[in-house]
Amino acid sequence: MSGERKTESSDIILERVTKLHSKLIDLSLDRTWRLLAALGHPERALPPTFHIAGTNGKGSTSAYLRSCLEAGGYGVHSYTSPHLVRFHERIRLAGRPKSAPIDEAELAALLDECERVNDGKPITFFEITTCMAFLAFARHKADALILEVGMGGKLDTTNVIDHPAVTVITPVDLDHQQFLGNTIDLIAREKAGILKRGVPAVIGPQTDEGRAAIEEEAARIGAPLLIWGQDFSAHEEQGHLVYQDEHGLLDLPLPRLPGRHQIDNAGVAICALRQAQMLPLGEDSIARGLREAEWPARLQRLTRGPLVAALPPHAELWLDGGHNPSAGRVVAHAMADFTQSNPKPLIMIVGMKETKDASGFLAPFDGLVSHVETVAIPDDPACLPPETLVEAARNVGLDASPAPSIEEALQRGLARTGGEAPRVLICGSLYLAGAVLKDNG
């Protein structure tokens, strides 16, 4: 029709809204509240919400929650960040039997609407896109929303939900110190900012320092806590996941996602599900959800694509986006377990952001890895130079050298194994993982 406004592609609008604020990150809720009010407060029209903060494990816990709820027949929205390949991944809209990423036409239209309503006022990329996600969620019927915090908690853009069904804090460790503080105590208090009076809060495994900070904040607010190892637990026993809380014991299959830390993440998700009384789930649904959960770039074994094709028979290619010391520890434990059950030389290909503690991430791999090849993250000027990563690796006792590309790093790593089929781990950044998935399926 003549005169009708034509909506631009989401990529064009997303690029433009990155320029609405001079800083990429500026933790505050004022701009979010302003835009939400102008949009008619969509955050007040959301389904029962699981609000999840933490340093590591948020994404996997979200994946278990979504998978179990969908196995029980519920329609589930979810919001996670960052994305791996396309922005659309961040916003999944409820469907049956499963949710799906928002489609391009709706994403572009919603972005266009939010940009027009914002009217050029200062707002960060995460703030405006989160408001847009709330608008999408409010306009689509669902039984539940899984809402992952972007950074921290207290001042995170997602922390505008007055009364979630359940809050969750996964393990807290050092990360984003320039924004959240330099100690686990300070970071845990920021994460605890999502706790709400009277709302059950499920607390995953924590250091003593982190748990004490969360307990203190919860007591001040009046949030009832369910604490890992105290009110609930999960462990592996004879090839099963055994979960226990005050309501009894569940004998469940092991999670589909590999790594011993996934027992913890699954246990946290199960506890959160059992607190959401408005969404009852049977044991069969929880079991099916654990078996079917998917979460790319978290100890994901790649089985196709050019990188896999370049490997010799019986070699393995693994991908993980963890990027802080705590993530380094759990991934190293997983690699040690793999080595014990199926010995192979381990070659690491590592790329990291310049804000990350590279030595802290790499230190747990000492004694496990044959060689480290370091690379730049493709198209990312804010990554650590490969030469800097080499120095960080050598500082913690690892043999390392720089490579000009992921493909070249793989070939150099293979050449060092003397013809033996290796286990290759590409790791250090979700952005690096996204580049690998984009090019290699």
If we measure between CA atoms, which residue out of 246, 247, 266, 250 comes closest to residue 258? 266
Nearest-Å Rg of the Cα atoms of the chain is 22
Classify burial at 405, counting beta carbons within 10 Å of its beta carbon; exposed 0-12, middle 13-18, buried 19 or more. middle
Note whether 241 and 290 are within 8 A (CB): yes
Long-range contacts of 114-119 (CB under 8 A, 24+ apart): 114/35, 114/39, 115/13, 115/16, 115/17, 117/35, 117/38, 117/39, 118/20, 118/35, 118/38
Dihedrals phi, psi of 387, to nearest 5 degrees: -65, -35
Question: Rounded to an integer, what distance in angstroms lies between the CA atom of residue 18 and that of residue 4?
Answer: 26
* β-bridge mates for residue 203, sequence order: 169, 227
Distance of CA 384 to the CA centre of its chain: 21
Note whether 346 and 422 are within 8 A (CB): yes
Instruction: Kindly report the pTM of this predicted structure.
Output: 0.94
If we measure between CA atoms, which residue out of 331, 335, 313, 294 comes closest to residue 429? 331
If we measure between CA atoms, which residue out of 182, 130, 175 comes closest to residue 156? 130
pLDDT at 5: 58
* Torsion sign across C-alpha atoms 304, 307, 309, 311: negative
Q: What percent of the chain has pLDDT over 70?
A: 98
Note whether 403 and 378 are within 8 A (CB): no
Question: Rounded to an integer, what distance in angstroms lies between the CA atom of residue 52 and that of residue 59?
Answer: 9
pLDDT at 441: 62
Note whether 90 and 160 are within 8 A (CB): no
Task: List b or e across 363-387, with b for residues whose CB sees 16 or more CB atoms inside 10 angstroms.
Answer: bbbeebbbbbbbbbbbeeeebbebe
pLDDT at 4: 55
The Cα-based distances of 285 to 55, 190, 262, 292 in angstroms read 28, 33, 18, 10
Q: What tens-digit pLDDT sequence spans the chain (441 residues)? A: 444 557 799 999 999 999 998 887 788 899 999 999 999 999 999 999 999 999 999 999 999 999 999 999 999 999 999 999 999 999 999 998 999 999 999 999 999 999 999 999 999 999 999 999 999 999 999 999 999 999 999 999 999 999 999 999 999 987 777 778 889 999 999 999 999 999 999 999 999 999 999 999 999 999 999 999 999 999 999 999 999 999 999 999 999 999 999 999 999 999 999 999 999 999 999 999 999 999 999 999 999 999 999 999 999 999 999 999 999 999 999 999 999 999 999 999 999 999 999 999 999 999 999 999 999 999 999 999 999 999 999 999 999 999 999 999 999 999 999 889 999 999 999 999 999 999 886
pLDDT at 27: 82
Note whether 319 and 357 are within 8 A (CB): no
Residue with tokens 């381990």: 346
* Side chain identity at residue 306, one-letter code: P
Distance of CA 79 to the CA centre of its chain: 10
**The token pair that represents 323 in the structure block:** 């990027």
Note whether 277 and 267 are within 8 A (CB): no
Question: Rounded to an integer, what distance in angstroms lies between the CA atom of residue 161 and that of residue 168?
Answer: 14
Number of Cβ atoms within 10 Å of the Cβ of 228: 21
**The token pair that represents 82 in the structure block:** 């960052």
Number of Cβ atoms within 10 Å of the Cβ of 220: 11
pLDDT at 2: 43
* Torsion sign across C-alpha atoms 190, 151, 69, 319: negative
Number of Cβ atoms within 10 Å of the Cβ of 197: 11
Write the CB contacts of 79 (distance below 8 Å, at least 6 apart in sequence).
90, 91, 92, 130, 133, 137, 145, 146, 147, 148, 158
